[in-house]
Structure 1
Amino acid sequence: MVSRVIPVDPFDLVIFGGTGDLARRKIIPALYRRFIAGQMPPEARIIGAARGDLDDAAYRDQMRGALAEFLSGDLNADDVSAFLDRLHFVSIDATGDAGWSDLRDLMRDDVIRAFYFSVAPSLFGALAQKLHDQDIAGPQSRIVVEKPFGRNLKTAKALNETLARHFDETQIYRIDHYLGKETVQNLMAVRFGNVLFEPLWNAQYVDHIQITVAETVGVSGRGAFYDQAGAMRDMVQNHMMQLLCLIAMEPPSRFEPDAVRDEKLKVIRALDPVPSDDIVRGQYAGTDDIPSYRQDVENPDSQTESFVAMKVGISNWRWAGTPFYLRTGKRLRARASEIAVVFKDAPHSIFGEEAGRHRNILTIRLQPNEGMMLGVTIKEPGPGGMRLVDVPLDMTFADALGPEGEHVPDAYERLVMDVIRGNQTLFMRGDEVEAAWAWTDPLVDAWEARDERPALYEPGSSGPEEAQILMHRANRRWREIKE
């Protein structure tokens, strides 16, 4: 299998916050991989813009260190040097006047202009205003904004209004790196490209769906931000909401940006309110060796959740009566992100009760080891009667695709190139963000009004016992969290 890499058009990509952690850890390494793959044309340029007294050579040295730190394997020195030659730096004040004329003079008229806001959301408005006032961004320019897209519906609307003053919705790329994962996109390929699954993808055949995003790390290093957000705002409202939409949405008429996003928006608007009994909030405790959540955030009275699990219903013809169980948390047993579609039992077993209960489960792994696995029931080999056993049909990308699957492109590789191509399919639209907050806000407001402390759970566990009870009430079980 040979994949074709088609170069994008020439571009100038300006990374505001070009010396920051996201640029060093994700954006620059992703661009380097696309350069190595042959997708970046010779005329492409990357311009770091940030505070700091750097010239091009000093910036290139910094990014050389970032590539060495965040890319695994040996780096070819000639390739690295050729890539770094494309990098430039402008010292700039986001809210002042310094550096903007230098940036304007550096930009070219005959290439795509893209501006990546890798900065705090509080600077988005100032950057949009400056790009407009300095005549740097025009009707064909594109801006990329990172989450959080507001803290609630009110702030999300304010942010959208601020950006809309200077940019059309077709120019705004709200990036969620989960949507760039190969497996996430394969959700649509599996559903809409195979006659095998789509007829079964509904409440008649699906018992329930589990979406899990588990992390082993705590929140130290970003405690100040996280304590103001919590798992609900940090993960459920955006990442997990997007996964739920892709699993639950109706087939779009075409694989085009607005057609796909229209169907996702319909799912969000069909979400039922969640009763308090169907939500579990948790907070990791401490041990002799591991600090507690409250110690990590340096707030001894914090009521913020580091874990949340919930049962969610969708009121439409396809999914009425089929629950979606969402679970995410920190300091859990293993780092794993997966979606499990649990199909209903066969209507009648010809093998009797002694054969046991067996279900087909389609598991979509987002991390680690991206791939898909379908559990099927077969006869256990050997004599002694009809004994049934469940076995996996496994499609781990690295195994199934051979050399083509050894390097599954990082989400940022795909998404940044989609910005240059002008493809918004994997980016959130403004009304989609607002609808997600409109569903989330009442849940957060309700538990803040109750002032309940989240349930404690041990680091390295599967979360609080109350989350297990949430499933047991319906005679269901969470899938085991494992690498």
Structure 2
Amino acid sequence: MSTGSTVLDTSLSNVSLGSSFPEERDTEIEHEVKCLSIIVLGASGDLAKKKTFPALFHLFQQGFLQENDVHIFGYARTKLSDDDLRERIRGYLSHKSSSGQTEVLSRFLQLIKYVSGSYDSEDGFQLLNKEISEHEISKNSQPGTSRRLFYLALPPSVYPSVCRMIRRYCMNQSDLGGWTRIVVEKPFGKDLKSAEDLSAQLGELFDEQQLYRIDHYLGKELVQNLLVVRFANRFFLPLWNRDNIDNIQIVFREDFGTEGRGGYFDEYGIIRDIIQNHLLQVLCLVAMEKPVSLKPEHIRDEKVKVLQSVLPIKLEEVVLGQYEGYKDDSTVSDSSNTPTFATVILRIDNERWEGHNFHLLDLSMCKKQGRNELVIRLQPSEAMYMKLTVKKPGLEMSTIQSELDLSYGLRYQDVKIPEAYERLILDTIRGDQQHFVRRDELRVAWEIFTPLLHRIDAGQLEPISYKPGSRGPAEADELLAKAGYVQTHGYIWIPPTLD
């Protein structure tokens, strides 16, 4: 059977990827109450400094975190004072606040308290619990009514030990309306078995409603807008299928190399680090059927159905690459087989996408201009634009490719587009799991890629060398051409400005 295909095309150092809803929201989402403790474990690490604390600061700036209700606790092994941690993160926050917001920044920093301890230390977590409890008492919070959010900005290898300590010493007794919620960062394992083992260990400690598996791609504005664009605009409904869409490319690019994270990256590679989670989530939103409602479980049900319809990956439809100079990183093995680039074709075997691909028709005189394309640009310069063939201005009857353009920075000048992490942290506080990965979804995603990853790990598929800053190996373009996609040249999208 020939099926509709999706191309996942990635690299590091030029990663290439290439009827309306009812008016409702989930009424079960909890409204905010008094006394919230946010505990950032791994508070001295890069993720916490660059993403977690800035996201919390943005929420504080906008009034989503109230000064009288919230307190933030940092926990890590590094010996620091409260002021030491505040100074460490100040530089990551000050450039995000205007000159008139110095006082706001100072007030935010005073909400942060630091506790030092190891991640398997009873004494450390007992001290942490003591500090949290004293804060709750100071807010006149009754036992069992306070909220505790634990953000694990940590390697997945320590999740089980940390979660055991949280369960044993830091749980809020939620029988009176309070709660304890755990946010864990990806990657969730390295293959199907390790992911299931990790899920089983965490599942013994917390129920599914307490676990929030964060994938920051799902917090991006245009990723969230995909469902609205698809299902709230009637002209898309009859077109979004195999008969009218030739192929779908999900493209991810970076213009830098490992830059100090070679040790981490070499353990995972581009497929584990990017494709299996971030890009597969985008694929689900592009390919899924319309959910019954916008309730989180209904949306996640449809995502799982898409993943269950993905056919096994064919080795001949995979191209791997490794950029020249990757092994110069002192933390990378000289014999590393880790791909920094990947092009993978996925085929979805369901009613919407199965069967032969059909190209959109062009007028014969417009062939050189390329095909109609809908581009959803997630970052940077968030935009949605559709490539169209139009008449070139002038007296001659010649054509040129242009676009219908929705650039968020220009169209919504008075609206702050939220960062992914601040949206997802706020969702966690509100108890909204729509943009988090469910356990069965995680399992099916790993089922898709684990056979391929095991073959790569066994050396059965070698990455092809390519130059940094290039489009990747030429073999990747050849694979795309075989799948029916030939890149057209001459069109360049220019983000519009007010100038």
What TM-score, normalized by structure 1, do the two folds share? 0.87
* Alpha-carbon offset, residue 272 of structure 1: 1.1
Kindly tell me: are residues 75 and 161 of structure 1, through their superposed partners in 2, closer, same or farther at Cα, counting changes over 3 Å?
Answer: farther
Is 1:254 matched up with 2:254? no
Cα deviation, 1:249-278, whole Å, max 9, x if unaligned, reads 111111111111111111111111121111
Question: Which residue number in structure 1 is paired with residue 231 of structure 2?
Answer: 192
Kindly tell me: are residues 19 and 245 of structure 1, through their superposed partners in 2, closer, same or farther at Cα, counting changes over 3 Å?
Answer: same
Question: Which residue number in structure 1 is paired with residue 38 of structure 2?
Answer: 13
Is 1:317 matched up with 2:351? yes
Paired letter, 2:195 = A
Q: Find the partner of 1:208 among 222, 225, 247.
A: 247
Distance 2:417 2:170 in 1: 38
* Alpha-carbon offset, residue 369 of structure 1: 0.1
Distance 1:358 1:482 in 2: 14
Paired letter, 1:381 = P
Residues 160 and 201 in structure 2, CA contact (< 8 A), matched pair in contact too:
yes
For the residue of structure 2 that corresponds to 1:281, the secondary structure is strand
* Alpha-carbon offset, residue 7 of structure 1: 9.1
Q: Find the partner of 1:38 among 39, 63, 66.
A: 63
For the residue of structure 2 that corresponds to 1:126, the secondary structure is helix
For the residue of structure 1 that corresponds to 2:247, the secondary structure is strand
Residues 355 and 388 in structure 1, CA contact (< 8 A), matched pair in contact too:
no
Is 1:23 matched up with 2:48? yes
Kindly tell me: are residues 355 and 473 of structure 1, through their superposed partners in 2, closer, same or farther at Cα, counting changes over 3 Å?
Answer: closer
CA RMSD of aligned residues (A): 2.3
Matches of residues 63-462 of structure 1 in structure 2 within 5 Å? 63-68=89-94, 71=96, 74=99, 76-107=101-132, 108=136, 109=143, 110-139=145-174, 140-285=179-324, 292-296=325-329, 297-321=331-355, 344-346=359-361, 349=363, 352-353=364-365, 356=368, 358-385=370-397, 387-404=398-415, 407-449=416-458, 451-462=460-471
Residues 152 and 184 in structure 2, CA contact (< 8 A), matched pair in contact too:
yes
Question: Which residue number in structure 1 is paired with residue 478 of structure 2?
Answer: 469
For the residue of structure 2 that corresponds to 1:367, the secondary structure is coil
Distance 2:302 2:366 in 1: 44
Residues 44 and 76 in structure 2, CA contact (< 8 A), matched pair in contact too:
yes
* Alpha-carbon offset, residue 482 of structure 1: 8.5
Structure 2 segments unaligned to the other structure (5+ residues): 1-29, 137-142, 495-499
Cα deviation, 1:379-419, whole Å, max 9, x if unaligned, reads 2333233x333221111101011221xx3211011011111
For the residue of structure 2 that corresponds to 1:200, the secondary structure is coil
Distance 1:383 1:233 in 2: 53
Paired letter, 2:222 = T
Kindly tell me: are residues 92 and 358 of structure 1, through their superposed partners in 2, closer, same or farther at Cα, counting changes over 3 Å?
Answer: same
Paired letter, 1:18 = A
* Alpha-carbon offset, residue 427 of structure 1: 0.4
Paired letter, 1:244 = L
Residues 377 and 388 in structure 1, CA contact (< 8 A), matched pair in contact too:
yes
Distance 1:144 1:63 in 2: 20
* Alpha-carbon offset, residue 244 of structure 1: 0.6
For the residue of structure 2 that corresponds to 1:197, the secondary structure is coil
Paired letter, 1:395 = L
Kindly tell me: are residues 82 and 73 of structure 1, through their superposed partners in 2, closer, same or farther at Cα, counting changes over 3 Å?
Answer: closer
Cα deviation, 1:198-252, whole Å, max 9, x if unaligned, reads 2211111101011110111111311112112111111111111111111101111
Distance 1:382 1:388 in 2: 10
What TM-score, normalized by structure 2, do the two folds share? 0.84
Residues 288 and 302 in structure 2, CA contact (< 8 A), matched pair in contact too:
yes
Distance 2:381 2:276 in 1: 25
Distance 1:74 1:217 in 2: 31
Distance 1:115 1:38 in 2: 21
Paired letter, 1:63 = I
Residues 8 and 41 in structure 1, CA contact (< 8 A), matched pair in contact too:
no
Distance 1:459 1:58 in 2: 39
Distance 1:304 1:239 in 2: 19
* Alpha-carbon offset, residue 428 of structure 1: 0.2
Paired letter, 1:223 = G
For the residue of structure 2 that corresponds to 1:76, the secondary structure is helix
Question: Which residue number in structure 2 is paired with residue 328 of structure 1?
Answer: none
Kindly tell me: are residues 478 and 204 of structure 1, through their superposed partners in 2, closer, same or farther at Cα, counting changes over 3 Å?
Answer: same
